[in-house]
Each structure stands twice: as structure tokens, then as C-alpha cells.
Amino acid sequence: MVQPINLIFRYLQNRPWIQVWVYDFIIGFDESKNLVLDDAEEIHSKTKSRKQLGRFMLKGGTITLLQSVSN
């Protein structure tokens, strides 16, 4: 099983789009799994409407699922 911190580091290195209730790139993280996200875009699952969010920090304790997605 891959440790979460190793998966986050791999995403940081390869810069794939990830899904964290928003679509964006990881540009940094820390040992608490807080993520700094860049060029974030929220996409409403039902209406497919998009909202640009820019750069922000997501607290590691709020993350329940993180996966790479194709853009």
C-alpha cells in the first residue's frame, strides 16, 4: 500500500490533475498533508458549470480522497 504522503509527493512531481472536490495542481504540501493548490477549478457535478478558484491551501485533515484524473 502506498503511503498518502508518498502519493502526494508523486503528484507534486508529476503535476497531474487531481480531484479534491476541485480540479487543480499541487504546488506544495507539508507533513500534516496540508496542500497548496494552484489554478484550481471547481466543477459542479450536476450542471457541469465551472468556477475558477486560483491558488489556495487545503487543510490535510479535511481530505478524504485524492486521486489523479485525466484532463
- Cut 0.75: pTM above it: no
How far apart CA 25 and CA 17 sit, in angstroms, is 6
Q: What is the pLDDT of residues 29-49, one digit of tens each?
A: 888 889 888 888 887 777 888
How far apart CA 68 and CA 7 sit, in angstroms, is 10
Q: What are phi and psi of 4, to 5 degrees?
A: -55, -40
Take residue 8 and report the three cell numbers written for it: 502526494
Domain boundaries, the chain: 4-68
pLDDT of residue 16: 81
Helix (H) or strand (E) holding 51: strand 50-58
Q: May I ask the CATH architecture of the domain 4-68?
A: Roll (2.30)
How far apart CA 43 and CA 14 sit, in angstroms, is 22
